[in-house]
Amino acid sequence: MGLTSAKIFLCAAFALALCQNVLSFNNPPDFYFKKNDSVGYDIVTVIKETEHEATDVVGRTYAMEQQFPFMAVVHKLLGAGKFTQCSGSIISNRWVLTAGHCLDIHPKEYLVVFGITNKTGIKYNFYSGPGVAMITKEAFRHPQINDIDCDIGLLYMPQDIPYSKTIQPITLADGSYEKVNINGKLAAVVGWERDSLTTQSSKRLKYILSAIISNAECEKYWVIKNVHICTLAIEHDEACQGDSGGPLFIVDNNKFIQVGLISYGGLCRGTITPSVYLRISTFESWLRAQETKMQKIITFLYGTPR
């Protein structure tokens, strides 16, 4: 996202959604899957870049407050002040979706922070700092995690995530999206990736726009499967280190719809090769199964679902 005049191609509804809190539903009882029952898509337009937009040297635009309220910072706490960092997305009032490699098969504590665009001040061993922080040990990884094609995981929060203007869930694309052609649809990736090719992860949340391309086109560059979805960046930059677990999403009927998951971020190489993501709709059954499994455990332990 360079600072050049009249250069950002956006969907009209996408631009509206970036500037407004368009998610109006509250506390859905389970994962909110979206059935694609419309064939019309947002009208592509050209929007002049404003002076208020700020970009980093990698080419991403810094996010504004309330712009992406579904984003979460996921830290695996390793002890002695050490931790790993990933991104995640809120998919219900108890669940956060992230990459499987961000989690661990052994019990670990995960610090998850909601409602922020700037990580400055986060404390990694107790409940303090910006936003709303929770610590959980309930992690679920896909059983075929050793297969890079199944690098998906979930975190279950110990209490309800408090929805607000800065904290809201994102809608997941369900299987019906497999039947509709979204190639050419404008999508976005959000995360706390590195500020440059050499620095550590950014303190500020950033996003970049990409166009979804067909798997047939993507296969010219990579070996992929049906569980993948590919994009081509508008300005030759894609998912970078620090983005793992973050969402690839579109806008449909003025709602954010997560269609992909960042598995392993690239190296910010600035090439024109496509980026590959996990296709969310292909994991609908597994996601629902984990939710059901957790509810059974809670019912057994406490006698009632929570």
pLDDT at residue number 233: 77
DSSP per-residue string spanning 180-242: S--TT-EEEEEE--BSSSSS-B-SB-EEEEEEEE-HHHHTTTS---TTEEEEEETTS---BTT
pLDDT band at 238 (very low <50, low <70, confident <90, very high): low
Burial of residue 88, with CB atoms counted within 10 A of its CB: 0-12 exposed, 13-18 middle, 19 or more buried? buried
pTM of the entire predicted model:
0.79
Give residue-wise pLDDT tens across range 107-125: 789 999 999 998 877 766 5
So what's the pLDDT on residue 281?
93
Q: Mind listing the domains of the chain with CATH numbers?
A: 68-169+284-302 (2.40.10.10), 171-281 (2.40.10.10)
Cα 212–chain centre separation: 16
Q: Hey, what are 205's tokens?
A: 């949340």
pLDDT digits (tens, 9 = 90+) for 2-11: 434 333 333 3
Q: Which of 7-11, 19-23, 27-31, 135-139 has the highest mean pLDDT?
A: 135-139
Q: Are 112 and 73 in contact (CB under 8 A)?
A: yes
In 10 A of CB 66, how many CB atoms? 16
Band of pLDDT at residue 271, cut at 50, 70 and 90: low
Higher pLDDT, 198 or 272: 272
HSE-up of 49 (CA within 13 Å, CB side)?
A: 15
Closest CA to 24 of 288, 257, 281, 254: 254
Instruction: Note the pLDDT tens digit of each residue in 169-210.
Output: 999 998 887 777 788 888 888 888 654 444 455 678 888 888
Model confidence at 29, pLDDT cuts 50, 70, 90, reads very low
